[in-house]
Amino acid sequence: MTLIIENLVKKFPKEDTELTAIENFNLVVKNEEFVCILGPSGCGKTTILRIIAGLEQKTSGSIRLDEREITGPGQDRGMVFQEFALFPWRTVQKNVEFGLEIKKVPSEERKRIANEFITLVGLKGFENSYPYQLSGGMKQRVGIARALANDPEVLLMDEPFGALDAQTRNLMQKELLRIRQQTKKTIVFITHSVDEACFLADRVVVMTARPGAVKEIFVIDAPQPRDRASIEFANLRKRILAELEREVIAGPSSPSNSPEKA
């Protein structure tokens, strides 16, 4: 599996002009790679992920999964949402089975697959609970299990731990690394936390402020598990943070002074 993003451009209509959200974004995500996309708020990082997921249309450029051009949503890409997006009227089990139902997988097989992933994310015993009975961390475990149950080629995660408290967040990061090791999934992960990116990623893509493009890519070859208290970790954080801060201070360029491309 290779995910290739070439010259991706996204423009939104805004009043009588156009707002360029993403401009010439290029990235190649390799098989089994964990890539974090990091950027100041409003830089279009979530938009990129939504275009990869097929939830939004690109203005121009190309996104290919292996050789197939992505034009809409598909089960080859699983997505995990910041808001969890669990179906409140479905139990944990039924939430995880959702995609399998759509694929018309027979009931017995569905149950078997769902149980496998519920166990993987550590929710065994909660199959029949409803989302409102779960804590935030548990809800996101369901979100991950649900996305993985479809056996996607790439897992897209949109600030998945952003709504969790600090302790739960750290725990979930460790859990995600464990799940990744067991499933060998390719992951594209959006975050605005430098710490999170440094802890998780093989590569960290730092984006420019609007219009969003790749500013710098950091390769992190420190082995997992990483020690947050180590000097190396602190140095890495410092470097990325410096890069990111420059963009935050620069701020988004307004539509009028962004380069026009008629």
Partner 1 sequence: MKDNPLRIFGLFNRERFLANMNQTIFGIAAIVTFIAAWWGFSIYLNLAYVPSPDRVVWAFFTSFEKTEISLGTNMWGNILASLQRFGIGFVFALALALPVGLIMGFIKTADSFFKPLVELFRPIPPVAWVPIFLLIFGIFWGPVMVIFLGVFFPLLSNVIFGVKSVDQPLIDAARTMGANRITLFKKVIFPYTIPFIMTGITIGLGIGWMCIVAAEMIGAVGGGVGFYIFYSESIGRYEFMYAGMAVIAILGIGTVGVSHYVENKLNRRMGVK
Among 59, 75, 115, 183, binds partner 1 (CB under 8 A): 75
Rank residues 189 and 199 by Cβ distance to partner 1 and give the closer one: 189
Among 39, 40, 44, 54, binds partner 1 (CB under 8 A): 54
Q: Does 116 bind partner 1 (CB under 8 A)?
A: no
Label each residue of 214-255 as H, E or C. EEEEEECCCCCCCCCCCHHHHHHHHHHHHHHHHHHHHCCCCH
Q: Does 130 bind partner 1 (CB under 8 A)?
A: yes
What is the rounded CA–CA span in Å between residue 218 and residue 38?
A: 11
Task: Give min distance, CB of 76 to partner 1, in A.
Answer: 10
Q: Does 161 bind partner 1 (CB under 8 A)?
A: no
- Contact residues for 217 (Cβ-Cβ < 8 A; gap 6+): 203, 204, 205, 206
Task: Give min distance, CB of 99 to partner 1, in A.
Answer: 4
Q: Does 91 bind partner 1 (CB under 8 A)?
A: no
Burial of 76: CB neighbours in 10 Å, binned 0-12, 13-18, 19+: middle
Q: Does 89 bind partner 1 (CB under 8 A)?
A: yes
Query: How many residues appear in the chain?
Result: 262
The residue type found at 68 is: R
C-alpha distance from residue 196 to each of 38, 52, 162, 188, 201 (Å): 10, 21, 10, 13, 8
Task: Give min distance, CB of 154 to partner 1, in A.
Answer: 11
Among 53, 121, 142, 187, binds partner 1 (CB under 8 A): 53
- Taking Cα atoms as reference points, which of 35, 40, 82 lies closest to residue 213? 40
Retrieve residue 11's tokens: 């423009």
**Cβ contact 36:203 at 8 Å:** yes
- Taking Cα atoms as reference points, which of 69, 58, 182 lies closest to residue 117? 182
Rank residues 89 and 257 by Cβ distance to partner 1 and give the closer one: 89
Among 131, 137, 160, 252, binds partner 1 (CB under 8 A): 131
Q: Does 13 bind partner 1 (CB under 8 A)?
A: no
Q: Does 150 bind partner 1 (CB under 8 A)?
A: yes
Among 68, 103, 174, 261, binds partner 1 (CB under 8 A): 103
Of the candidate spans 144-152, 184-192, 196-204, 248-256, the one that interacts with partner 1 by CB under 8 A turns out to be 144-152
Please give the distance of CA 80 from its chain centroid, rounded to a whole number: 7
Q: Does 78 bind partner 1 (CB under 8 A)?
A: yes
Q: Does 147 bind partner 1 (CB under 8 A)?
A: yes
The site for partner 1 (CB under 8 A) is made up of 50, 53-55, 73-75, 77-79, 81, 83-89, 98-99, 101-103, 130-132, 146-147, 150, 156
